[in-house]
Amino acid sequence: MSTAEVSTIELIPNCVEIMLSSLETALICPSSLQLFGDPVLTEDDHIYERTAITEWIHLNGTSLPTRQPLSIDPLRPNLTIKKVVDDFENNIQSKNHKFKIGIDIRRDKRALFQIFGKRIYKAEWITQEQ
| Superfamily of segment(s) 3-125 | Zinc/RING finger domain, C3HC4 (zinc finger) (3.30.40.10)
Give the pLDDT score at 24: 53
The domain locations on the chain are: 3-125
> What Rg, from alpha-carbon coordinates, does the chain have?
19
Residue 77 has pLDDT above 80, yes or no: yes
Give the pLDDT score at 43: 94
Convert the pLDDT of each residue in 13-55 to its tens digit.
Answer: 555 555 555 655 678 888 888 889 999 999 999 999 999 999 9
Give the pLDDT score at 112: 82
The DSSP result for 95-106, as a single string, is ------BTTTEE
Q: Who's near 19: CB < 8 A, 6+ residues apart? A: none
Residue 8 has pLDDT above 50, yes or no: no
Contact 52, 59 (CB under 8 A): no
| Percent share of the chain, pLDDT over 70 | 72
Query: If pLDDT is split at 50, 70 and 90, which confidence band does 1 have?
Result: very low
